Amino acid sequence: MAALPVQQHATVQAIYALHAKRRAAEPPRGYLGWSEIGHECSRYLWLSWRWAAFEAFEGRIVRLFETGNREEARVLDELREIGCTVWDRDENGKQFSIVSHRGHMQGHLDAVVQGLPEAPKTAHLVDVKTINTKRMTELQKKGMKTVYPKYWAQAHGYMSHYKLARALFIFVCKDDDTLFVERIEYDDAEFRRFESRAAAILDAKEPPERFDAESFTCKFCHFKAQCHGTEAALPNCRTCAHSTPVAEGNWMCEWWENIIPPAAQAKGCAEHRYIPALVSSFAELVEYNEISNDAVWRNKLTDKKFTQPRYSSMEMHQTEGKAALGEAFVEYVKYEFLGMRCGFKEFPSDLPWADDQKKAPKGGIDHKPLGELYRTT
């Protein structure tokens, strides 16, 4: 038999690359998930929902996520075979889901199951999770509410919306296939606590307070450079002061006076103006013209001023050394070489979601998101 080539690992890398490519092609989640509302940091949840940054996962991790999804189907089949009735799809063949808070909060159930040996007559919310040995040991000692507060919150959201009094979480150990279940009872006070928290996050016009930079919560968070450094949020429709979340999960652009289609929200446009709190680590808005959309910012690192649209929000994001914004030499170069940019990427010139004949209004409209909420005096 011929020897395997030395570059055998290339096959592994190709598989990982496949999963990374698939993940990159997926549109960002447009809603705040019930599976996340138990996260301890409200600021993290707000920034995630506002697309301030997208967490990148290597192909191996993406494949691991898929392994968890496959385990779900396996366990549900096992429940059927031991005599349970399992409802995991609606009449249209889709997952059961919940939608709340004007469509900006959603969740998707694994299944509702009746006939469980623990309580044969009671319908239960059933959710399947995969964990490692260390977490399994911790879970068995302390319980789900302590070890996995996100799952605790998720269970109450789902139970409330589907009028279920019990939930059964099935944990599968990825290391040795050990199964562990925790059965919980619905607590209306807990549900209302999480629902109130969700409303506060979704209604907030600026990000909630940050944790201390030295906290464990912040240690591995992909928003750390934004919360405790000078990294600017991604410039897109959800980080723009002109956009507002409205009914049915939609976003309204107050500048273009249009509902923004989901596919366009991540692109943004040249009229983007940051919600000031998202760049407050290095910039302060000192003047804004509601008619022209011109903005004057003070660079808090140098006390120099810089203006928009001379600097685009994309430049504010991409410029690594924020002290360059408004610096005299940069201003001179931008003036002498019209169109010169500090960054390497710009906004798309086409706006497929906007009426081709509609231009940015230049008078007669009071653009309240910046004019009333964010203007400083």
Query: Is 120 among the domain residues?
Result: yes
266: left (phi over 0), alpha (psi -120 to 50) or beta: alpha
Query: Is 90 among the domain residues?
Result: yes
Query: Is 160 among the domain residues?
Result: yes
Name the more confident of 350 and 323: 323
C-alpha closest to that of 95 among 115, 73, 79? 73
* 52 and 169 co-located in one domain: yes
Query: Is 2 among the domain residues?
Result: no
What 3-state class would DSSP assign to 185? strand
Query: Is 73 among the domain residues?
Result: yes
* 172 and 106 co-located in one domain: yes
* 151 and 100 co-located in one domain: yes
Q: Could you tell me which residues are beta bridge partners of residue 113?
A: 86, 124
CA distance 217 to 327: 35
**Structural domains in the chain (count):** 2
Query: Is 6 among the domain residues?
Result: no
Q: pLDDT confidence of 339, banded at 50, 70, 90?
A: low
Q: Could you tell me which residues are beta bridge partners of residue 131?
A: 173
Q: What is the CATH number of the domain that holds 98?
A: 3.90.320.10
> What single string gives the DSSP state of each residue in 43-65?
HHHHHHHTTS------HHHHHHH
Query: Is 74 among the domain residues?
Result: yes
* 55 and 136 co-located in one domain: yes
Q: pLDDT confidence of 1, banded at 50, 70, 90?
A: low
Identify the domain boundary among 147, 182, 203: 203
* 284 and 182 co-located in one domain: no
Q: Which domain holds residue 361?
A: 235-371
C-alpha 111, offset from chain centre: 24
pTM: 0.85
Each residue of 36-67: pLDDT tens digit? Answer: 999 999 999 999 999 999 888 888 888 888 88
pLDDT value of position 25: 79
CA distance 59 to 316: 30
Give me the percent of the chain exceeding a pLDDT of 70: 86
Mean local confidence (pLDDT), 122-146: 96
Query: Is 177 among the domain residues?
Result: yes
* 257 and 190 co-located in one domain: no
* 180 and 291 co-located in one domain: no
Q: Sign (positive/negative) of CA torsion 327, 329, 334, 335?
A: positive
* 242 and 297 co-located in one domain: yes
* 179 and 251 co-located in one domain: no
Q: pLDDT confidence of 349, banded at 50, 70, 90?
A: low
* 182 and 280 co-located in one domain: no
* 270 and 162 co-located in one domain: no
In 215-339, DSSP assigns E strands to 243-245, 251-253, 258-259, 283-288, 295-299, 305-308
Name the more confident of 351 and 362: 351
| Count of positions (residues) in the chain | 377
* 48 and 155 co-located in one domain: yes
Q: pLDDT confidence of 292, banded at 50, 70, 90?
A: very high
